[in-house]
Amino acid sequence: MELKRVVVTGLGALTPLGNNVNDYWNSLINGVSGAAPIQSFDATEFKTKFACEIKNFDVHDHIDRKDARKLDQFSQYAIVSSSEAMADSGLDLEKLNLDRCGVIWGSGIGGLKSFQDQCEVYFLGGGASKFNPFFIPKMIVDIAPGHISMKYGFRGPNYATVSACASATNALIDSFNLIRLGKADVIISGGSEAAVNQCGIGGFNALRALSTRNDSPETASRPFDKDREGFVLGEGSGALIIEELEHAKARGAKIYAEIVGGGLTADAHHITAPHPEGLGAKNVMIFALEDANLNPEDVDYINVHGTSTPLGDIAETKAIKEVFGQHAYNLNISSTKSMTGHLLGAAGAIEAIACVKAIQEDIVPPTINHFTDDPEIDNDLNFTFNKAQKRTVNVALSNTFGFGGHNTSVILAKYKG
């Protein structure tokens, strides 16, 4: 069968760098760090006392107070970013076949704060009678796409993808595949996460995954730097309207970019550590390129997973050099996590948006906080250190990898008719 073409026609973002797409993008290209001391709870006793939190955000500006109480923060964030994306897309609900419109959404953890709060009530003496009737619906990951579908009446494919930090990219690739197979016309896709709380910080501290650079939070996320020592936890949401090309053209939609390929692999190696030679990362980029019918030389920009962990950055660099060979030195590479922190299951969504904007505006956002070259990483590669760079971006590849060895790559390209 002939596969249909798939495009992006709407964007929405709620991030530590800005509460809409324009503010987020402007902060990215200006190299702004979203890291600061934690405000949402007292982090005094924790090894890490900072994070990339959303700022100046009041959910009641977007969601009725009564309804907001029934939603965990990760679902609130999902609704807010998807609302921006829907408004941006110009979709008219009265003109859509709602049976062919869906929602596929990623989150690595879901309602962690709701789980924490309910356990606290029970174990501090509330007893079995004090369980909130919305506890389970607030906590489960699939509730976010459920709420979005109910808001817009979308009766097509509706589910959540859960693959740790690869979750949102998984959602985008699933959306891409369903539309190009003719199973849907429009899908709201992306991811959200709200893990900046005691359980989130404490759990990742126990894994020794987080930076503990408490004296300088804004420089703590430093991908590919010799002195990197862990990621910075972030929170937020990103949403993309994924649409079949002819459907978009028929309604005169603005088209941001085309999704042209995706890859999915597993390291099959370790629960948290990457394959030391970057095998899964290498394969997922190869599969994505094959799926897109592109050569390595066609790629202009890679938004890397680049979390600022000692092992992960080395493995991903090895994989890029193996896949792209000499062309690796002609690419722009950057880790926007150096600014946003790591949004876990939402990372792939906001990073795909960064790729879309890079394609649209021919600007590559930087990897900030580079101070010292790491002899184990080839710093002759162009990691776009510290300052954004102008270049024509026709094709961008976005990598996201997750605990459990999950690897995803999605490829976006300039729409050329």
More confident residue, 1 or 367: 367
Euclidean distance between CA atoms 195 and 167, whole angstroms = 14
Q: What is the largest CA-CA distance in the chain?
A: 64
- Considering the candidates 275, 305, 370, 406, report the single residue annotated as catalytic: 305
At 159, the pLDDT band (50, 70, 90 cuts) reads: very high
CA dihedral for 284, 290, 296, 302, sign (positive or negative): negative
Euclidean distance between CA atoms 363 and 355, whole angstroms = 10
CA dihedral for 215, 218, 222, 226, sign (positive or negative): negative
At 378, the pLDDT band (50, 70, 90 cuts) reads: confident
Q: Tens digit of pLDDT for each residue in 10-19?
A: 999 999 999 9
Q: Tens digit of pLDDT for each residue in 250-274?
A: 999 999 999 999 999 999 999 999 9
- Considering the candidates 101, 165, 355, 370, report the single residue annotated as catalytic: 165
**DSSP 3-state of 334:** strand
Angle at 31 between CA 340 and CA 401, to 5 degrees: 35
Helices (H), 341-398: 347-361
At 417, the pLDDT band (50, 70, 90 cuts) reads: confident
Burial class (CB in 10 A: 0-12, 13-18, 19+), 4: middle
| pLDDT attached to residue 379 | 76
Q: What is the mean pLDDT of residues 380-399?
A: 98
Do residues 60 and 68 lie in contact, with contact meaning Cβ atoms separated by under 8 Å? yes
| pLDDT attached to residue 66 | 95
Q: Tens digit of pLDDT for each residue in 198-211?
A: 999 999 999 999 99
305 is catalytic: yes
pLDDT of 69 higher than 80: yes
pLDDT of 28 higher than 80: yes
pLDDT of 133 higher than 90: yes
Do residues 138 and 165 lie in contact, with contact meaning Cβ atoms separated by under 8 Å? no
Euclidean distance between CA atoms 140 and 33, whole angstroms = 31
Residue 371 has, within 13 A of its CA and on its CB side, a CA count of 10
| pLDDT attached to residue 405 | 96
> For residue 150, what are the contacts with CB-CB under 8 A and spacing of at least 6?
none
| pLDDT attached to residue 93 | 98
Q: Tens digit of pLDDT for each residue in 336-376?
A: 999 999 999 999 999 999 999 999 999 999 999 999 999 99
pLDDT of 1 higher than 90: no
| pLDDT attached to residue 261 | 98
Q: Tens digit of pLDDT for each residue in 297-334?
A: 999 999 999 999 999 999 999 999 999 999 999 999 99
Q: What is the mean pLDDT of residues 146-174?
A: 98
Q: Tens digit of pLDDT for each residue in 73-82?
A: 999 999 999 9
Do residues 223 and 306 lie in contact, with contact meaning Cβ atoms separated by under 8 Å? yes
165 is catalytic: yes
Q: What residue has token string 């896709």?
A: 189
pLDDT of 229 higher than 80: yes
| pLDDT attached to residue 265 | 98
- DSSP helix, strand, coil percent of the chain (3-state; round to 5): 40, 20, 40
| pLDDT attached to residue 8 | 99
275 is catalytic: no
- Please report, as a single letter, which amino acid is at residue 374: D
Euclidean distance between CA atoms 412 and 393, whole angstroms = 10
Average pLDDT of the chain is: 97
Euclidean distance between CA atoms 406 and 331, whole angstroms = 24
Tokens of 40: 């949402």
- Considering the candidates 342, 355, 370, 406, report the single residue annotated as catalytic: 342
| pLDDT attached to residue 336 | 98
| pLDDT attached to residue 197 | 98
* Residue 233, CA distances (Å) to 112, 213, 241, 267 in order: 14, 13, 26, 23
| pLDDT attached to residue 281 | 97
